[in-house]
Structure 1
Amino acid sequence: MIKYTKAALFITGCSIIAGIASCNSNSDTKTTKTTKTTVVKDSLPAYVHSRIGIYEPVKLTTNLNVLSVNDRKVLPLLIQAAQIMDELFWRQTYPQRDSLLAVTKDEDTKNFIKINYGPWDRLNNDKPFVSGVGQRPAGATFYPAGMAKADLEKSTLKDKFNQYSIIEKDTAGNLAVVPYHVLFASELQQASALMKQAALLTDDAAFKKYLNLRADALVTDNYIPSDYAWLDMKNNSLDMIVGPIENYEDKLFNARTSFEAYVLVKDKAWSKRLEKYVRLLPELQKGLPVAQKYKQEKPGTDSELNAYDVVYYAGDCNAGSKTIAVNLPNDALIQQKKGTRRAQLKNTMKAKFDKILLPIATELIDKDQQKYVVFDAFFANIMFHEVAHGLGIKKTINGKGYVKAALKEQYSWLEEGKADVLGLYMVTGLLKKGALSGDIKAYYTTFMAGLLRSVRFGASEAHGQANMQCFNYFKAQGAFSRTANGTYKIDYTKFGNAMNGLSSLILTLQGNGDKAAVEKVRKDNAQIGTELQSDLDRLSTKKIPVDIIFEQGADVLGVK
C-alpha cells in the first residue's frame, strides 16, 4: 500500500507553477457558483485504502540524447504550460479542491482526491469517497447547478453549445454563454506566453509555427488554424497537444471541452514503420462491413501515424484511466478535408502491457491461448483503434447533421466502441492483404485481454462502456466461452464474425443519428454482468493494477 500512496504524491499540486493565479476555489466566482458547495464531515478511509492500490506508479522518461540543445531548453517551458492546463482542469471538475484537501486528514484520501481530480472514484462509476459530496454532477462545472437539460435545449441563447464556453445563470435566472478565453483569461495568457517563449527557442520551423498559433488559440478560442498547423508538422522531434479538447467530462450534453496537455518526444524510428498504413485508408473505408450508404464518405488523405514517448500528462488525459493513444483533431470537417494524426504513446502503452495486461491474461485467458498475448499485437490493436476514428461516417444519412451533434451525450461511448471493433476489422483485413505480419490469433487474443482490461474502468467511463458493449455482443455471438476454471477461451472464427456484425451495428446507429436507439443499446449492453464482475474481482484479489499514475516533470527528466 505504501508504494501507491507515495507515488500519488507526485501528482501536480497548486504550488508547482510559480506566478500562476490562485487556484483557491474562491479565486473565480464565475466557476465556483456553477457547482454546489458541499460540507465535508468526514472521509471514508476504508474505501480509499482498498482502492488507492489499483494504480501502479510509472516514471515518465525518454532518451533526451535524440533532442537538440535547444529542444532540451524548450521542454521545461512546455511542461510549465501543461501544468497550467492541469490547474484549469481542476477548476472545471472540482474548483473546491484546496478547501477539500484542507479539511481532509487522511493522507491516502488526499492523494486519491488528486488522482481523481475530485472526490469521485473515476474507475468505479464515479462513486463518492468523501462523505457529504453527493453524486458527481453530470455537467461538471459547465452549467449552473440544478439546471435541467430542457432549460438549455429550449433556450434561444445564441451559440449555447459552444465547446469553448460555460453556461451561467444570473440572479434573474437568465442564461448566458461565457467563453473560456474570458473565464480563464489570466491563466491562458500565461500559458500562451510560455508557448511563445518555447517557439523562439525551437529549431523546427513547423513546430515554431504551431506553437505560435496554438498560443494565440488559447487566448481567442479559435483553434482551427493551429489544428491545421499541427497536421502540417512532419519532422519535429518535440510535440505538444494542449488546450480544451475532449468532451468526456460533459456528461449532460457532450458539448463542452476540458483542458489537458501532453508533452511528447517523437520516436522517429517507430513512426517510420507506421507510414505505410496511412495510404490504405481509402481502401479500408470502401471495405467496411456495412451498407454502402453508411460508408460513402472519404477519409482525409493527409493523416499520419506516429509513435511518441510521453514525458508529461496534465488535466483531462491524466484523470482516472490514462490515455495511451490519441486521434486528433476532433473537428469532423478538418478530418474530412485534411485528415488526422494518430499518436501512439509507446512508453505508456508498454507500461500498461507489462504491468496490467499480461497479469490479466495469466489470470483470465485460457492457458493454451495465453501465448498469443503479445505487445506487438497490443500496439497494433491500439494503433488501429485510433485510425478507425477517422473511418466510418461523420454525417448522418437522413439530414440530422453531424453524428456527434445528433447523438449528443451518447456519442462518445459509441464512437469509442466503433474505434475498438473497426480497429480489429482493419487488422484482420491488413493481415489478409499481407500488409501486416503476425498471427490473427495473437491480435484476437490480445484484443480479448484488452477488453478485460478496459471494462475495469467502469460503466461511467466512455471506454469502459464501449468495451462492455463489445464484450456482451461477442459473448452473445459465441465468440468466446467461459471455461469451468473461470478463464475465457476464444473461438477465432466466431470472433471474426462478431467483429463484422458489431461494426455494422455501430455504423448503422451512427449513420441514423437516432439518439434514443443508441441510449437503449447502452442500457441493454454496456453493463457489467454478475459473472464478469466476479472475474474482475479476482483481479483485484490478485492485486493486479487497474491503471497507472505518473512520476513526471522537469526534475524527473533532468531538464530544469
Structure 2
Amino acid sequence: MKHIGKATVFIAGCSIIMGIASCGNPQGTSNQQTKKATSAEDSLQTYVNDRLAIYEKVKLTTNINELTINERKILPLLIQAAQIMDELFWKQAYPQRDSLLTTIKDEKTKEFIWINYGPWDRLNGDKPFVGGIGAKPDAASFYPAGMTKEDLKNSDVKDKNGQYSVIKKDSAGKLMSVPYHVLYATELQKASSLLKQAALLAEDAGFKKYLNLRADALVSDNYTASDYAWLDMKTNNIDIIIGPIENYEDKLFNARASYEAYVLVKDKTWSKKLAKYVAMLPELQQGLPVDAKYKKEKPGTDSELNAYDVVYYAGDCNAGSKTIAVNLPNDEIIQQKKGTRRSQLKNAMKAKFDKILVPIAKELIDKDQLQYINFDAFFANVMFHEVAHGLGIKNTINGKGFVKEALQEQYSWLEEGKADVLGLYMVTGLLKKGELEGDIKQYYTTYMAGILRSVRFGAASAHGKANMQCFNFFKDNGAFIRNANGTYKVDFVKFEDAMNKLSKMIIMLQGNGDKAAVEKTLREKAIITPELQSDLDKLTKSGIPVDIVFEQGVDVLGVK
C-alpha cells in the first residue's frame, strides 16, 4: 500500500464519515448503503474505544529536590529538544498526521492516532483503525512509495542501507539519497541549539562534553564521537538519549534509524547495586552453551549499568510498547571496542510491574507459584536482557559480515529473542556463583509472567515476535504446563534446559547469518496459537492493561 498523501487523505476522511471508499456522488447513496456506512463507522469507533482501554496512564515524575539548581534548569531544555525528536518521528512514521486529524471528528480516534503515531494499531499487528486506510507500508517514509527491494539493489545509490538518510526519487524518477541533516535541517538546528544551551549550564564535565558533541552530531549525522563521549560519562546525574537510533520502523530493510529521545534522572542508590555485573561478561561469554567458534568474540566491559527515572519519552520509544530498559549504542564496532551503557528505566518498569505484570500473574500463573512473583526478579530479568545484548556474536562465522547485515529485516526480532534468553542464562549463572541474591524459582516464574505480558504486544513488534518464539519453544520443551483451569505452571528443571537449547539455537542462527532459517523460525514459532490467544483474551476481559501511556512534561515534573 502506498503512503497516503495529502491529496488522498480527504478521501480517507470521507470514508470515516460515510464508511465507504469513495466520496463521489453522495446524492446517489441508497439507504442500505448509508446503513452499511454507519455500521462500518460504528465498528471502527467501537474498536478504538476497546483498544484505548488497554493503556494505563502513568505520570512520569522523579524527586527533583536531589538535583542542583542548574540541573533543574537543564531539564526543560532537554524536554524541548526531545519534543523536536517527536515531531521528526511523526515525519518518518506518518507525515500526513495533520491532514488526517482534520478529517477525524471522533476525539477518541484522534487520541488513538496520537498514541500509535498514525492510523495503525501498533500492538495489534498494525491493524488500520481509520476507514479508508490500507495496510501500513513497510517502507514508512524512508523510501519512495512503490519502490521494491530490487529497485534499490539495482540502483547506483551509494548510501543504499544508510542509517541516516532517506531514499527519494529525483525529477527524472531516479533513486537518490538525502541525508537526514539536510532533509530535517530546520528542526535539527533547533534541537542542536537547545543542547548547546544545556551544555552551558552543565556542571558535570563529562555531561557537558557529551551535550556539545551530540549537538554537533544532530546537524552532521556523525554520531560516533558523541557515542564514545556518552559511554565515557560516569558522574552525571541527568542524561538525554537523543537522535536517530533504532531501526524497527524500517520494515523493508531494517536499515534506517528513527528519531527518539529519553530524558533521564539517575537513581544513584540502585545504580550502585548494578555496577559489578558488566565486568563478568567475558566469563559468561565463555560459558555460553554453543561451540567455541560462536563465542570467540570478547564483549566490551568499559561500560556501565545504571538505573534511572525516565521523565520524558519522545518519538520511536514512545510508539507502541514502551521501553523499560535501553542498551546503547547500537554500533557493533563501538560495542566491541568500548561496550554499551545499559540504562534501566526504573519508574516505568515499576509501573508496568504493578499495573500489568502482577494482575496478569494472578490471572494466569498457577496459584501455588504466585509467591515467586516479585519486582526484584522482574528488574533483574529486564536488566540482564539489556546486558545480554553484549553477549553472543556480532560477526558471522562464514564471511557474511555483521549479523545485522546478513539478517537484514529479520535481525531485530531475533536479537531481542537472544537478549531475552541469554539474560535468563546470566541470571541462572550468577545465582549459581552466589553473585545474585534470591531463589531461581522467583526469576523463572516472574520470567514466565513476563512472557505472557510481552506476547500481548503482537506480531508487529520485534519484542512481541521474540516472546512468541520463546513461549512456543519453551512449551515444546516442557518448560511449563498449562493447567486445566488455564493457568501456567513452571517446571524449573526443564525451564533451564529449554533456556540453554534456545540460547544455542539463536546464537547459531545469528553466527551462520542464515536469513532463510530465521524466516522459517519466524513462520513456525513466532505465532500466537488459538489456545494462547484465548488465555490472553481473559486478560482483556478482566480489564488488565496491555501497556502504559504517559502524562509527562515540565508541568508534570514541576520544572519551568
Please give the secondary structure, in 2, of the residue aligned with 1:261.
strand
Q: Distance in 2 between matches of 1:554 and 1:61?
A: 10
Shift of 1:34: 11
Shift of 1:268: 1.0
Q: Distance in 2 between matches of 1:33 and 1:402?
A: 36
Shift of 1:156: 2.6
> Where in structure 2 are the equivalents of 1:89-108 lying within 5 Å?
89-108=89-108
Please give the secondary structure, in 2, of the residue aligned with 1:147.
coil
**Which one-letter code corresponds to 1:293 in the other structure?**
K
CA contact (8 A) 1:199 1:207 kept: yes
Aligned to 1:39: 12
Q: Distance in 2 between matches of 1:452 and 1:289?
A: 26
Segment drifting more, 166-175 vs 275-284: 166-175
Segment drifting more, 171-180 vs 311-320: 171-180
Q: Distance in 2 between matches of 1:159 and 1:179?
A: 9
Shift of 1:365: 0.3
Aligned to 2:328: 328
Q: Distance in 2 between matches of 1:36 and 1:191?
A: 32
CA contact (8 A) 1:55 1:547 kept: yes
Aligned to 2:214: 214
CA contact (8 A) 2:80 2:194 kept: yes
CA contact (8 A) 1:360 1:544 kept: yes
CA contact (8 A) 1:36 1:145 kept: no
Shift of 1:154: 2.2
Q: Distance in 1 between matches of 2:372 and 2:12?
A: 51
Shift of 1:393: 0.2
When the two structures are aligned, how many residues end up with a matched partner?
530
Shift of 1:521: 0.5
Aligned to 1:537: 537
CA contact (8 A) 1:35 1:140 kept: no
Aligned to 1:132: 132
Tell me the alpha carbon deviations over residues 420-471 of structure 1, each in whole angstroms, 9 at most, x when there is no partner.
Answer: 0000000000000000010000000000000000000001110000000000
TM-score normalised by the chain length of structure 2: 0.93
Aligned to 1:315: 315
> Where in structure 2 are the equivalents of 1:169-180 lying within 5 Å?
169-180=169-180
> Where in structure 2 are the equivalents of 1:354-373 lying within 5 Å?
354-373=354-373
Tell me the alpha carbon deviations over residues 176-200 of structure 1, each in whole angstroms, 9 at most, x when there is no partner.
Answer: 0000000000000000000000000
Aligned to 2:528: 528
Aligned to 1:556: 556
Shift of 1:345: 0.2
Shift of 1:269: 1.1
Q: Distance in 1 between matches of 2:220 and 2:190?
A: 13
> Where in structure 2 are the equivalents of 1:20-39 lying within 5 Å?
39=12
Q: Distance in 2 between matches of 1:456 and 1:374?
A: 20
Q: Distance in 1 between matches of 2:237 and 2:420?
A: 29
Where do 5+ consecutive residues of structure 2 fail to align?
Answer: 17-40
Please give the secondary structure, in 1, of the residue aligned with 2:156.
coil
Aligned to 1:480: 480
Q: Distance in 2 between matches of 1:239 and 1:368?
A: 42
> Where in structure 2 are the equivalents of 1:49-64 lying within 5 Å?
49-64=49-64
Aligned to 1:289: 289
Shift of 1:172: 2.3
CA contact (8 A) 2:6 2:99 kept: no
Aligned to 2:32: none
Aligned to 1:389: 389
CA contact (8 A) 2:60 2:551 kept: yes
Please give the secondary structure, in 1, of the residue aligned with 2:314.
strand
Shift of 1:558: 1.1
CA contact (8 A) 1:325 1:343 kept: yes
Note if 1:112 corresponds to 2:85: no
> Where in structure 2 are the equivalents of 1:363-512 lying within 5 Å?
363-512=363-512
Q: Distance in 1 between matches of 2:137 and 2:259?
A: 18
Shift of 1:32: 8.5
Please give the secondary structure, in 1, of the residue aligned with 2:222.
coil
Shift of 1:170: 2.4
Shift of 1:155: 2.0
Aligned to 1:189: 189
CA contact (8 A) 1:32 1:95 kept: no
Percent of counterpart pairs with the same letter?
74
CA contact (8 A) 2:6 2:96 kept: no
Where do 5+ consecutive residues of structure 1 fail to align?
Answer: 1-30
Aligned to 1:8: none
Aligned to 2:33: none
Please give the secondary structure, in 2, of the residue aligned with 1:249.
coil
**Which one-letter code corresponds to 1:184 in the other structure?**
Y
Aligned to 1:14: none
**Which one-letter code corresponds to 1:39 in the other structure?**
A
Taking a change above 3 Å as real, the CA distance of residues 35 and 350 of structure 1, as seen in their structure-2 partners, is farther
Please give the secondary structure, in 1, of the residue aligned with 2:162.
coil
CA contact (8 A) 1:181 1:188 kept: yes
Taking a change above 3 Å as real, the CA distance of residues 537 and 314 of structure 1, as seen in their structure-2 partners, is same
CA contact (8 A) 2:5 2:96 kept: no
Q: Distance in 1 between matches of 2:6 and 2:131?
A: 21
Taking a change above 3 Å as real, the CA distance of residues 35 and 480 of structure 1, as seen in their structure-2 partners, is farther
Shift of 1:35: 11
Shift of 1:535: 0.3
Tell me the alpha carbon deviations over residues 326-384 of structure 1, each in whole angstroms, 9 at most, x when there is no partner.
Answer: 00000000000000000000000000000000000000000000110100000000000
Q: Distance in 2 between matches of 1:301 and 1:500?
A: 24
Tell me the alpha carbon deviations over residues 3-52 of structure 1, each in whole angstroms, 9 at most, x when there is no partner.
Answer: xxxxxxxxxxxxxxxxxxxxxxxxxxxx9879985622215211101110
CA contact (8 A) 2:94 2:117 kept: yes
Q: Distance in 2 between matches of 1:81 and 1:227?
A: 18
CA contact (8 A) 2:250 2:256 kept: yes
Aligned to 2:517: 517
Please give the secondary structure, in 1, of the residue aligned with 2:465.
helix
Aligned to 1:350: 350
Aligned to 2:36: none
Aligned-pair Cα RMSD in Å? 1.2
CA contact (8 A) 1:303 1:341 kept: yes
CA contact (8 A) 1:364 1:488 kept: yes
Q: Distance in 1 between matches of 2:162 and 2:318?
A: 24
Aligned to 2:20: none
Please give the secondary structure, in 2, of the residue aligned with 1:39.
helix
**Which one-letter code corresponds to 1:523 in the other structure?**
R
Please give the secondary structure, in 2, of the residue aligned with 1:260.
strand
The structure having more radius of gyration, on CA atoms, is: 2
> Where in structure 2 are the equivalents of 1:121-160 lying within 5 Å?
121-160=121-160
Shift of 1:324: 0.0
Taking a change above 3 Å as real, the CA distance of residues 148 and 544 of structure 1, as seen in their structure-2 partners, is same
